[in-house]
Chain A
Amino acid sequence: MRSLILALAAVAVAVLAAACGGTSENSAEAGDGTKLTLVAYSTPREVYAQLTKDFAKTDAGKGVSFDESYGSSGEQSRAVESGLPADVVGFSLEPDMKRLVEAGLVDASWADDEHNGMVTNSVVVFAVRKNNPKRIETWDDLVKDGVEVIEPNPFTSGGARWNVMAAYGAQLKQGKTHEQAVAYLGELFKHVSVQDKSARESLQTFSGGKGDVLLAYENEAILAKKKGEDIDYVVPQQTILIENPVAVTKDAPEQATAFLDYIRSPEAQRVFGKAGYRPVNESLAAEFQFPVPQQLFTIKDVGGWDEVQKKFFDREDGIMAGIQKEVGAALE
């Protein structure tokens, strides 16, 4: 018994020693070059993995290595606010960046460039089963009898908020009034059978066989198809332009800003494009032939994020809060 305890203790000490050695090895590595921390939402993980490598090959990026963290956009933003060290931050929607500005971690001038602080675009699409058996093509098709819609929870998922605003804006673009558009949203949510907490989880629920249509980012649908999932997608005529912000934090080293410039260069934007993102760099947009919806609109066209957050997503008085209650009451 005693020898067993001693043996275990010896192993523990050895492992701990190795561990300490391991961690100091990491910092020694950093001593040679610059270590930057990239905190981003989960979808562009593979793209950034590629871009950080490519950046290190450029002059501006010599000797720069990256620690990378990916997770759901809201959770990542919250983590940085709570102390997760970060030099470059990228989210799926602007309010997650706003949070860091308000926390004093990102400079308020982050959006003052030619791209308004954005690095990639996308659009909201309908992901459907292979060959679209239910012929879902328009927003009206979503609320037909028997159609099951998959949509993440708008209060936990940024992607869900893009979806809601796409649905709302699409109604306005078709000439409906604000009240009619809100009524449509209520109808739509009655068809939502599962509310996952993030957009990626929604995609996996849909791939797992649940539902007839999934509201998703175009690049998510493209990624899923690439990975062999049995789905197709439809770009509706009216849809919203999804804009993904990126910025450097206040105390970040200058290489972080260099990286920011790099990911907007044609070279990097091309990598994004191949992965299914619409480049913000206009010179490339033509290269990729993304379908252009007839009536594309932006978040500004429906009021801008500040107003929309208050009007739609306030958890007490927001329109979506009311709809959740209504739908829930209908379910009881």
Chain B
Amino acid sequence: MSSVAQPVPRPLRRRRDATLSLGVTTGYLSLIVLIPLAALVLRSTEGGAQAFWDAVTEPQAVAALKITFLISLIVVLINAVAGTVIAWVLVRDSFRGKSIVNALIDLPFALPTIVAGLTLLALYGPKSPVGVNVAYTTSALVLALLFVTLPFVVRTVQPVLLELDRDMEEAAQSLGATPLQTFRRVVFPNLFPAILSGTALGFARSLGEFGSVVLISGNQPFKTEVASVYIFGQIESDNVTGAAAVSVVLLVASLAVLLAIGGVRRWATRHDS
């Protein structure tokens, strides 16, 4: 994929332009993302390490974090399967209205989270027209999170499926492999990095979701209260340091997941040029 022969020595101005683009990137990233996050981290350590530790080991905080991680994991596993199936259908299948369905996939990004929460509540809550009432339970949490993370896996898998070379699949089929075997051995390994990326993003997003969850889950401490709602509660109780501390935990967890997935993806594609 990259050039083989040692090229002509690069002129100096290319290095300067490279530095410029790198400089702009770092500057922008710092101003927009890193500085606010630094302020957050520093605030969380204002009371010293002991205060930080106390804040994140408070029973309610621990419960909120546990619930958040567990539910996000469940959501993500469902998404991995559902998202792949949907992407498959959108790429490999054809039916009337497919392009409309395709356009709808991005809606969860555009719909305000409160609207998502409210409509799910209207549909699957106490006044449900279809008789399904899961509001204020952990199922409601899962539902809300499935909604907001729907696009992630679909959109990372679709482009890969589109680019996929069908030759290998056809070869496998002609050699007698069943569709399932073909999928498992030929297609899936190629999709795996994309599925992984999508689920990692969905997981990271689920960890932090607030707007839809706060309306539909009931926010029972120790039962359905997620980390972001807990953080909100701490801010409102004038415990900004504690709120910042738990936020930092979420932040580190998200970063760790993203880094890990990046690493796994690089490992999985190590044989690609």
Contacts and interface: CB of A to CB of B under 8 A. Distances in A.
A binds B: yes
Interface centre among A74, A155, A156 (most CB of B within 10 A): A155
Given A208-B126, A315-B237, A195 B222 contact: no
A227 B233 CA distance: 30
B203 interface: no
A329 B222 CA distance: 7
A209 B127 contact: yes
Contacts of B125: 208-210
A281 interface: no
Contact of B221 (A74, A210, A328): A328
B190 interface: no
Contacts of A193: 136, 218, 220
A155 B136 contact: no
A325 B60 contact: yes
Interface in B197-256: 214-215, 218-223, 225, 229, 232-237, 239
Interface residues of A, number: 24
Nearest to B127: A209
A17 to B, nearest CB: 24
A75 B223 contact: no
B218 A195 contact: yes
A196 interface: yes
A99 B168 CA distance: 68
B135 interface: yes
Contacts of B63: 328
Contacts of B112: none
26 contacts: A153-B219, A156-B233, A193-B218, A194-B220, A195-B219, A195-B220, A196-B214, A197-B214, A197-B233, A197-B236, A201-B215, A208-B125, A208-B135, A209-B126, A210-B135, A210-B136, A315-B237, A324-B60, A324-B221, A324-B222, A327-B222, A328-B59, A328-B63, A328-B223, A331-B222, A332-B223
Given A153-B221, A155-B237, A195-B225, 9 more contacts: A78-B236, A156-B232, A156-B233, A201-B215, A208-B127, A208-B135, A210-B126, A325-B59, A328-B59
Interface of B: 59-60, 63, 121-122, 125-127, 135-136, 214-215, 218-223, 225, 229, 232-237, 239
